[in-house]
Structure 1
Amino acid sequence: MDLFDVVVIGGGPGGYVAAIRAAQLGLKTACVDAFERNGKASLGGTCLNVGCIPSKALLDTSEKVEVARHDFAEHGISVGEVNVDVPRMLARKDSVVDKLTGGIAYLFKKNKVTSFFGLGKFVRQDADGWVIDCAGTEVKAKHVIVATGSNPRALPLAPFGGHIVENSGALAFGQVPGKLGVIGAGVIGLELGSVWRRLGAQVTVLEALPGFLMAADDAVAREALKQFQKQGLDFHFGVNITRVEQNDAGVTVTYTEKEQEVTAQFDKLIVSIGRVPNTGGLNAEGVGLTLDERGFVKVDSHYRTNLPNVYAIGDVIGGAMLAHKAEEEGVALAEMLAGQAGHVNYDVIPWVIYTSPEIAWAGLTEKQAKEKGLSVKTGQFPFSANGRALGHGDPRGFVKVVADAGTDKILGVHLVGPNVSELIGEVVAIMEFGGSSEDLGRTIHAHPTLSEAVKEAALAVEKRAIHM
């Protein structure tokens, strides 16, 4: 029976990164993963196979369609009728996924990570380690990392199947739906709803919460909602789904809104109401692995479970269900197992929604800071005053900086606008080192760039913005 220093159960962003980093640090490492795509083993988990990567590929394609149909004329470009070849679009998306998932297999080989395809589960603990069933092959591990991720949460009234889909199904529609319903106005609902709206679907979004993007800064949420409504997305908030019926023609959803009962007919229905931890098949109960009341694996601040030398990271432990959060936990834990001091700063995790306009933020909102009793000052700068945004033809949105009124330390930065997913990184770096709005405002930014809006918003904290 092979003995490994580390066995990672799960090959998603947290798991594969943990495995690679552990191997880099000289630990004999194995990773077992059961994810299949198109009937074949495929590393990368939900994110690379049916989440982050394919959705961004479709968002990019659909954005190009939108620009060609509505924005080229303003640039003096004349085109004929713009048609969409959906099968070819999906094939391109799959090719992007293939490159990246194949890349992980290459990295495993390069770093000498042993890979098993299939389910991984606990068998027993022996004197010299854990016996782990890796897809039918028993191995021993001195340390075990559980990184099994999460699954889409189903709506009890609308189990997945047929015309009712979760994220993976919404990435593979064979044709553009005429009428598309989306339950849940979160990241997945907004992104996938945007894809098919741009391609011609009539999209209705049903949200149980009373407001839009309540985790984001109020000003950003208002601006984003305004832009999405202008694009034709039809939002309904504070709704209560009472009945979902499916037939050959589509899905009928009955819900109450403002005490009125409404019935809507859709060709397809995306249910995006969150995710649940994936612990099935681990034999957690058999070995006494403690889960919390919601099914997440319980860990301490060093990712240790209640079992000796068993750890967990990523979606399966809760918190922000983000690929980059899982990756950083994987790196930190691997370094701890190698005797180093791994660390993740959860206060500066960036959040991004890849719609158009994009939305991004890190740190506290203005409201959250005030609720903590902090005295704050803010600065805001619109992309409509940014030369690169105007030249690009997309001056929507703004950058908002929230700083401590006493120390000037940046507490949070919130953006809505063009390519803000790429702008949030510099802010996170400044925040990671406890930087101030003055630090950000005095940093030289190339001209003309979108990033100058970040600099100007930082200057605006002290009413020093130059171009506003």
Structure 2
Amino acid sequence: MHIRSLNWGFKAELMKAKVKYFNEYASFVDAHTIQLKKANGDLQTKTADKIVVAVGGRPSYPDIPGAREFGITSDDIFSMQKPPGKTLVVGASYVALECAGFLVAHGFDTTVMVRSILLRGFDQDMANLIGEHMSMYHTKFINGATPKSLTRESEDGPITVTWQDSEGEKSDTYDTVLFAIGRYAVTEGLNCANAGVQAESNGKFKCNEQDQTNVENIFAIGDVLHGRLELTPVAIRAGGLLAQ
């Protein structure tokens, strides 16, 4: 409900600003032409002098047995039909810590599995303070660990998570396993090659300081940028500067 209300608010703001909105799938025909596809298959094309790619990203799953079958991501946690119970959050991103924080605040037994350090790319003095603060308020941490597999003996039974750390292989059971290990850019269906836009192996674009891709008239903002902070305020500010 909250997400739907946000979407409606954004659409209303676009209408107020007299921005045309197309609820359709987009892909490049060339550097100045976009093909739009409706849900019923109808096609149309639009041309533009400049194009901005801001398709965002989706949560990633680790390539381990049982991850997709038994794990969830931050996209799923708010639509669960029952309480998460004892939860393992895999990852050390701000998304991982945010999810762990509100689960603990709601009284759920929550553990965070960290492969190396908290909040990579952020100030580590602050990151360590955040970790200490969370520990003080009963968030548990498994440090230096990498998950190896998830198994479940019955549909409603607990999930057994096996991981590797410096002491060897270990395991424990959880009611919910939430992966927050990063996000991938949803650029695969954009046919970027048609426009000459070069993407990294993770689907993201390398841009200059003006958020310009290797194609002069095509720009990118938000989670599709390679090597930039994946933060909403950063993307909003970048969009505002680009519009100006």
- Both proteins in one fold, TM over 0.5: yes
Distance 1:201 1:117, change over 3 A: same
Amino acid at match of 2:160: T
Amino acid at match of 1:291: A
Q: Normalising by the residue count of structure 2, what TM-score does the alignment of the two structures yield? A: 0.87
Partner of 2:36: 134
Q: Which deviations, in whole Å up to 9, do the C-alpha atoms of 1:220-251 show, x marking residues without a partner?
A: 34443333223221101111222222452242
Amino acid at match of 1:238: G
Distance 1:111 1:121, change over 3 A: same
Partner of 1:28: none
RMSD of aligned Cα (Å): 2.1
Structure number with greater CO (CA < 8 Å, separation at least 6) is 2
Could you tell me whether the CA contact under 8 Å between 1:297 and 1:316 is conserved in 2?
A: yes
Q: If each structure's helix is expressed as a fraction of its own residues, which one has the higher value?
A: 1
Distance 1:217 1:307 in 2: 33
Could you tell me whether the CA contact under 8 Å between 2:200 and 2:206 is conserved in 1?
A: yes
- Could you tell me how far 1:215 is from its partner in structure 2? 4.6
Partner of 2:150: 244
Distance 2:83 2:191 in 1: 41
- Could you tell me how far 1:131 is from its partner in structure 2? 1.9
Q: How does 1:259-338 map to 2 (within 5 A)?
A: 259-318=167-226, 319-335=228-244
> How many positions carry a matched residue from both structures?
236
3-state SS of the aligned residue for 1:115? Answer: coil
Could you tell me whether the CA contact under 8 Å between 1:158 and 1:164 is conserved in 2?
A: no
Identity of aligned residues (%): 25
Q: Which deviations, in whole Å up to 9, do the C-alpha atoms of 1:149-178 show, x marking residues without a partner?
A: 112121111566454111111122222222
Distance 1:302 1:100, change over 3 A: same
Partner of 2:20: 114
**Structure 1: which 5+ residue stretches go unaligned?**
1-93, 336-468
Partner of 2:62: 155
Partner of 2:40: none
Could you tell me whether the CA contact under 8 Å between 1:152 and 1:166 is conserved in 2?
A: yes
Could you tell me whether the CA contact under 8 Å between 2:188 and 2:203 is conserved in 1?
A: no
Amino acid at match of 1:231: Y
Q: Normalising by the residue count of structure 1, what TM-score does the alignment of the two structures yield? A: 0.47
Could you tell me whether the CA contact under 8 Å between 1:208 and 1:237 is conserved in 2?
A: yes
Distance 1:329 1:158 in 2: 39
Distance 1:217 1:148 in 2: 28
Distance 1:218 1:334, change over 3 A: closer
Given the alignment, which residue of 10, 23, 44 partners 1:104?
10
Distance 1:220 1:301, change over 3 A: closer
- Could you tell me how far 1:328 is from its partner in structure 2? 1.3
Could you tell me whether the CA contact under 8 Å between 1:178 and 1:200 is conserved in 2?
A: no
**Structure 2: which 5+ residue stretches go unaligned?**
38-42
Could you tell me whether the CA contact under 8 Å between 1:131 and 1:141 is conserved in 2?
A: yes
